[in-house]
């Protein structure tokens, strides 16, 4: 039996040189590697949408022609017993709130005191977060993956058709902020709304219409306008 000899790396470069008639095979190979790396990196990097003003007529036309699709069903477990059955020792909420990883290491711990009580509110399996209800009236969510506090109430999410982007709200105890998130490497990251100007644009948005997976429209009222006056809206088109 004759075994085929495996071509060494240098021979592979020479084959590229002959095939492409190139005098600079290493440059060609480096370019190929750079192109591949850049494409891979682009898939892992969060995107930032370009948002621009449009007229009310354009907004109405876009919404009339928008794709009709169902939002994903929200799984929200409000029974502590059911959440414990699913999560086991990874989560506890009694005299203390505690989150552990699969190896049993404590990632988060909060000891409840008389004037600082936090209790279980809900478990959101799709987001892998626990919602807590504390004395301070604010949204408080903990990641079961990292034990860290995360912003964004899953109950408020409005998803794009492919469910890779969403508009979501977060109440910090004083006001409700609105943000657009993208799912990157199975984690929701903020891609629009953290910048002060973006925050103001999204502040009074009640809804968003996804035209397709990467395009959306919404209307927004000036956050500093007098509530007693007739509201004036600005209309926006966003695209990733």
Chain segment 156-167, per-residue pLDDT in tens: 999 999 999 999
Q: Coil, strand or helix: which one is 129? A: strand
What does the pLDDT look like over 190-233, one tens digit per residue?
A: 999 999 999 999 999 978 999 999 999 999 987 666 667 778 89
Both tokens assigned to 183:
């799912």
DSSP element (H, E) containing 118: strand 118-124
Among 165, 178, 168, residue whose Cα is nearest residue 204: 178
pLDDT > 90? residue 182: yes
Parallel/antiparallel/unpaired status of strands 118-124 and 106-111: unpaired
The yes-or-no verdict on residue 25 having pLDDT over 70 is: no
Task: Give the rounded distance of the alpha carbon of 129 from its chain centre.
Answer: 13
Question: Torsion over CA of 158, 161, 166 and 167, rounded to 10 degrees?
Answer: -40
pLDDT of residue 135: 84
Q: What φ, ψ does residue 29 adopt, rounded to 5°?
A: -65, -40
- Whole-number percent of the chain with pLDDT over 90: 67
Better-predicted residue by pLDDT, 113 or 172: 172
Tokens of 45: 């990097």
The mean pLDDT of the chain is 83
> Which pLDDT value is given to residue 116?
62
Res 24 pLDDT > 60: no
Helix ranges (H only) for the chain are 9-20, 25-44, 56-64, 80-87, 196-202
**Which letter, b or e, does each residue of 194-212 get, where b requires 16 or more Cβ atoms within 10 Å of its Cβ?**
eeeebbebbbbbeebbbbe
47 burial level (CB within 10 Å; 0-12, 13-18, 19+): middle
Buried b (16+ CB within 10 A) or exposed e, 71-105: eeeeeebeebeebbeebeebbbbeeebbbbeeeee
pLDDT by residue (tens digit) across 122-133? 999 999 999 999
CA distance linking residue 192 with residue 186, whole number of Å: 18
Q: For the chain, how many residues are written?
A: 240
Tokens of 185: 């490497």
């Amino acid at each position: 039996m004759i075994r085929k000899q495996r071509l060494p790396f240098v021979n592979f470069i020479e084959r590229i040189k002959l095939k492409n008639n190139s005098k600079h095979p290493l440059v060609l190979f480096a370019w190929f590697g750079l192109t591949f790396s850049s494409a891979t990196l682009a898939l892992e990097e969060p995107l930032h949408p370009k948002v621009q003003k449009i007229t009310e007529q354009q907004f109405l036309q876009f919404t009339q022609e928008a794709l009709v699709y169902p939002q994903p069903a929200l799984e929200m477990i409000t029974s502590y017993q059911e959440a414990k059955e699913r999560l086991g020792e990874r989560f506890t909420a009694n005299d203390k709130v505690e989150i552990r990883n699969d190896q049993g290491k404590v990632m988060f711990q909060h000891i409840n005191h008389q004037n600082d009580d936090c209790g279980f509110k809900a478990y959101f399996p799709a987001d892998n977060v626990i919602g807590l209800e504390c004395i301070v009236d604010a949204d408080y969510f903990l990641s079961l993956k990292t034990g860290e506090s995360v912003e964004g109430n899953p109950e408020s999410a409005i998803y794009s058709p492919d469910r890779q982007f969403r508009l979501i709200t977060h109440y910090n105890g004083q006001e409700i902020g609105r943000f657009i998130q993208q799912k990157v490497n199975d984690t929701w990251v903020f891609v629009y709304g953290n910048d002060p100007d973006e925050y103001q644009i999204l502040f009074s948005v009640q809804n968003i219409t996804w035209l397709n997976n990467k395009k959306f429209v919404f209307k927004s009222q000036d956050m500093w306008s007098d509530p007693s006056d007739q509201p004036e809206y600005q209309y926006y088109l966003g695209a990733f």
